[in-house]
Structure 1
Amino acid sequence: MSEGSAEGSAAARVALSLSPSDDRTVDAVDSERYRAYIRRAHAGPVAVGEEWAEFVSRGCGTTRDVELRVESVEGGEEIGEGTEFAFLSRG
């Protein structure tokens, strides 16, 4: 029996576009620590078009608001422990 088969299967990959997409923000969301946060915060069903209001650390106690939008979901319907993320720039 596959993991989560009763409720759906974990997606292999989810592509998220982000705005704003300046270099510091892209670097912050592209870290494994942030990816792990997204897996925990958004575990469960996921659908193309969902938008999440989040923030990233900019160092020295400062943060930056970001909007993440689900652009594609591959290989399942849920975000799980093994789900990988691809971050795409969006204006």
Structure 2
Amino acid sequence: MNDEQPNGRQSESLAPADRADAANATTVVLSYAPATERVATALSVESYRTYLCRTQRGPVAVGDEFGEFVSCGCGTTRDITLRVEDTVDGAVVTNETRFVFEPRDERDG
């Protein structure tokens, strides 16, 4: 059975005993592209990390990708793609989840 999560992704409904990764993630490693200094700076702002906790709340899996945007100042934004590279201690994003951002070469997909 598929259920739509608050973040709009579909996930399989499995009992916690059937899913070892159902625990809350303490850390989620996300790669980003395009890998520019301006994007890296925008991702490091605490308010952006808080935004991600709200918008990506729920289960994630390595390989999940989602489109986002970051502020580039003066009312301009830049579209980016975030990809889950790793999760620590579980796979459910909560308000306490910490995000680590790594640049990704756009040729890596």
Q: TM-score, normalised by structure 1?
A: 0.90
Cross-structure match for 2:68: 54
Q: Which aligned pairs between 1:1-91 and structure 2 lie closer than 5 A?
A: 8-91=22-105
* Deviations 1:1-52 (CA, angstroms, capped at 9, x unpaired): xxxxx86321010000000011010000111111001100000011000001
Give the distance between the partners of 1:10 and 1:40, measured in 2 at CA.
14
Greater helix content? 2
In structure 2, the gaps of 5 or more residues are 1-14, 17-21
- In structure 1, stretches of 5+ residues that fail to align are 1-5
Q: How far apart are the structure 2 equivalents of 1:62 and 1:74?
A: 33
Task: Kindly provide the amino acid, as one letter, of the partner of residue 30 in structure 1.
Answer: S
Please identify runs of 4+ aligned residues in structure 1 that moved more than 2 A: 6-9
The AA in structure 2 aligned to 1:22 is T
CA RMSD of aligned residues (A): 1.2
User: Which secondary structure does the structure 2 equivalent of 1:47 belong to?
Assistant: coil
The two structures have a TM-score, normalised by structure 2, of: 0.75
Larger radius of gyration: 2
